[in-house]
Amino acid sequence: MSQASGPSAAAAPGAHLLPSYLQADKLGPWGIYLQQVDRVIPYLGNLARWAETLKRPKRILIVDVPIHMDDGTVAHFEGYRVQHNVSRGPGKGGVRFHQDVTLSEVMALSAWMSVKNAAVNVPYGGAKGGIRVDPKKLSLGELERITRRYTSEIGIIIGPNKDIPAPDVNTNEQIMAWMMDTYSMNTGSTATGVVTGKPVDLGGSLGRREATGRGVFTVGAEAAKHIGLDIAGSRVAIQGFGNVGGVAGKLFAEAGARVVAVQDHGGTIYREAGLDVPALLKHVQETGSVSGFAQAEVITNDQFWDVDCDILIPAALEQQITAANAGRIKARMIIEGANGPTTPEADDILQERNVLVLPDVIANAGGVTVSYFEWVQDFSSFFWDEDEINARLVKIMKGAFAGIWQVAQDNKVSLRTAAFIVACTRILRTRELRGLYP
């Protein structure tokens, strides 16, 4: 091989050339994740030399998902599975069905899974998947066919020891059951551990459905002690009232908080005295949305950001709290049930205004923690009772939060940067220990 020479030869060929799919979308979710990583690099010491690892997903699979529609036509959908990092263990992360899913979004969500799994120290890397589809427009049969074809297409990179999907926005236990069955039929043996968030009858775990909301509540209650906020009597506003927001709302209400405002895709409702959360959950189950709930007044989606509250829980989609509304938020504490709901500019505004942000990578890690329990139970075919699961979940969440709180205090940084310091250090330490092969 010839000796490299000249100014441009100092770096390895291509070292600074970003793949095309990483160049675009600086303001999108992936761009936001990169900004979050840049903020943490100064705290990584010698491990910072491996930081480029964090900025490049390990593996990206884009698949065509053709299915027979009920009207006899064939429709094609775009599906993704991204494995951001697998240094610490198999990829792990949900599957999202949504009309706005993009590669940038799935890349960012997969990276946040790497960080989250390392932040709570479960032995996984980070992955995420999605299909660009509005599942509300599919019949049940079409939903099953799109799920099964997608699972077959990504079947070449998933598996109980490779990458383990789970539910996310618009996916649920039934979809996990179809994914598990499809993978099992293709591989010729029942592989319960290929997905988590399954029905309990199929090797799912007790407590999994409520786990993310329970984690949101647990971390919120811990943080409230630090800022002298009493959960009983506090006012809570929630954006997104699905798996995460609905369960979190229920637990806060049970602890004596008043859930004063809820927003979902159908609109925003408000009641100063506090909404009747069990009745609202029933209404959403029956109608699909909070809109039309009789015992509340309707406010505009924009007014939601002005609501007088102590705790705000974004539990819907990314980039909801931005420079445009961060200055209006009245809450003392924001608990990120959703992934990536706050932009870096909004983070800065909130920090300046002394609003405590509990970042997604710790606040919503309860789901993946119980997913880890589910996977362990599937491997051992030995199942724990719900009390044991909840107790273990609370122990992990409290321990992880306490560690991150301390790192934030020691370094005088936000909880997000602290969580990234803890997580990225763990990820890059394994990267260094494993070395490069070949």
Residues that bind ligand NAD (CB under 6 A): 167-170, 212, 239-245, 263-265, 315-317, 337-339, 364, 367
CB of 53 or CB of 167, closer to ligand NAD: 167
**Cα–chain-centroid distance for residue 435?**
28
Of the two residues 337 and 359, which places its CB atom closer to ligand NAD in the complex? 337
Q: Which is nearer to ligand NAD, 50 or 252 (CB)?
A: 252
Q: Which CB atom, from 181 or from 336, has the smaller least distance to ligand NAD?
A: 336
What tokens appear for 33 in the block? 């994740």
CA gap 119, 115 in Å, rounded: 6
The CB-of-233 to ligand NAD minimum distance in angstroms stands at 25
Least Cβ distance, residue 354 to ligand NAD (angstroms): 25
Residue/partner pairs of 170-177 with CB below 8 Å, 24 or more apart: 170/96, 170/97, 170/98, 170/135, 170/136, 171/94, 171/95, 171/96, 171/97, 172/197, 172/243, 173/197, 173/198, 173/199, 173/204, 173/209, 174/199, 175/95, 175/97, 175/143, 175/147, 176/204, 177/202
Q: How many whole angstroms separate alpha carbon 51 and alpha carbon 32?
A: 16
Report the run of H or E that residue 176 belongs to, with start and end: helix 173-187
Cα–Cα distance for residue pair 107/2, rounded to 1 Å: 37
Q: Residue 121 or residue 364: which is nearer to ligand NAD going by CB?
A: 364
Tell me the helices (H) and strands (E) count for the chain, helix number first. Answer: 13, 12
Shortest distance, position 107 Cβ to ligand NAD, whole Å: 14
Please identify, using beta-carbon distances, which residue of 54 and 317 lies nearer to ligand NAD. 317
Beta bridge partners of 268: 263, 299
Torsional class of 391: left (φ above 0), alpha (ψ -120 to 50), beta (otherwise): alpha
Burial class (CB in 10 A: 0-12, 13-18, 19+), 20: exposed
For the annotated catalytic residues, the residue numbers are 128
CA 130 to CA 225: how far, in whole Å? 37
Q: Can you tell me which residue has the tokens 């924001």?
A: 334
